[in-house]
Amino acid sequence: MSWKRDALELAVASCYRLAPRLAEPPSEPRSIFVLRNNDLGDLLVVTPLFDALRRRFPSARIVAGVGEWAAPILEQNPNVDEVRVVNAPWHNHSVTPKGKFAQLFASIYFILRYTEATRHDIGIDVLGSPFGSLLLMRAGIPFRLGVRGYAGGHSAAQCYVEFNSNEHVGRFALRFAEILGATDLPENRPQLFLKIPSQTGEVIIAPGGGYKEKCWPIDSFVELAKRLFNFKIVVIGGINDRALGKRLADAGQHVVDCTGMLSLRESFRMIAGARFVICNSSIAMHVAAAFRKPCAVLLGNDIVDPIQHSAQWTYPESLVIGHQGNGNVATVNRVLYLLQRHGLLTR
């Protein structure tokens, strides 16, 4: 831990002495606030936590603090009573400024301006960070849960979960519910609530991702699409993926480019009705898991340990294809071989 992180943690611990706090969590909390202001997949993977909290505290009001970019994920979720937009400028791709000092000042400014009309009895910072803890204290939440061993902030939490890089992120999140006494836990699987369309048999390719270095090369995606000419392929992604979609559309008339044309929930429905999904390590693999769809997850250069990646992020239906023995990303031939071997190319 650097001296900067040490100094920030010391500041958090100092604020803890002045913040309202309870020694034990309320046995019957009126309201529980769950902070997850991170990226799309980060929120979707921990949705079982809301289910676990509802089972443990059926009368409590459960409020999710998420970035507005991720709010559609929680639409129609019966385990969330309110979605509070929290566009906090840390640990996400949407509003985090570049540069550490810019991030620091933006984060402090956001916390100082933050107001919370609802009084919550329990607050959970799922990521675990100094800024998350400061936000929960700013909101006047008297019992706070965080994470020790990741980004910090545990000094202001009465209870915390120990970070484990070999534990699935969704299962890790359920530990917060266990701390609060939950024993009836849901399956560790993303939860999405929407009208499921009929099965289309289309192959969905989602070539986008948060970090370019963690993505399979676009040229390889194009070659793969060309060689899957016996399938109807639909390419999905956000506005920033339109250039990728255009490249893939050149693979042939069997490829339909829908990048930048669908809402987030429309993209969910496309995956729900698909034959199988091909994507990077991105939200698409979590959506596929929500509907138990086979999903080939293609890893880019910067993900050097497929085993650990699988332990943290993937599901039984996931086919994770990482580096080959020579240290290079998987070739198109290897991907096709593994798709065939797992029965995905058999009609």
Write out pLDDT tens, residues 329-346.
999 999 999 999 999 998
pLDDT, position 210:
84
Beta sheet of 203-206, edge-to-edge order:
255-257, 233-235, 203-206, 276-279, 295-298, 318-321
The string of pLDDT tens digits covering residues 247-271 is 999 999 999 999 999 999 999 999 9
DSSP element (H, E) containing 179: helix 169-179
Query: Which CATH number, 3.40.50.2000, 3.40.50.150, 3.40.50.300, 3.30.750.24, labels domain 3-179?
Result: 3.40.50.2000
pLDDT digits (tens, 9 = 90+) for 139-153: 999 999 999 999 999
Structural fold of domain 203-341: Rossmann fold (3.40.50)
pLDDT tens per residue across span 75-86: 999 999 999 999
Residue-level length of the chain:
347
Write out the two tokens for 232.
Answer: 């109807």
> Does residue 25 have a pLDDT over 90?
yes
**Domains 3-179 and 203-341 in one fold:** yes
Kindly state the percentage of the chain with pLDDT values over 90: 86
Cβ pair 274, 198 in contact under 8 A: no
Residue (of 159, 137, 135, 134) closest to 146 by Cα position: 159
The kind and range of the H/E element at 178 are helix 169-179
Extents of the domains making up the chain: 3-179, 203-341
Task: Give the model's pLDDT for residue 325.
Answer: 66
pLDDT band at 206 (very low <50, low <70, confident <90, very high): very high
- Per-residue pLDDT of 30-65, as tens digits, reads 999 999 999 999 999 999 999 999 999 999 999 999
**pLDDT greater than 90 at residue 28:** yes
Q: Which pLDDT belongs to residue 306? A: 87
Q: Using CA atoms, how far apart are residues 70 and 287, in angstroms rounded to an integer?
A: 13
Which amino acid, 143?
Answer: F
pLDDT digits 0-9 by tens, 305-314: 888 999 999 9
Please provide the DSSP assignment of 275-290 as one string.
SEEEESSSHHHHHHHH
Q: Is 69 left (phi over 0), alpha (psi -120 to 50) or beta?
A: alpha
- The amino acid present at 63, given as its one-letter code, is V
Per-residue pLDDT reduced to its tens digit, 161-184: 999 999 999 999 999 999 999 999
Mean pLDDT over all residues of the chain?
Answer: 95
Q: What is the pTM of this model?
A: 0.95
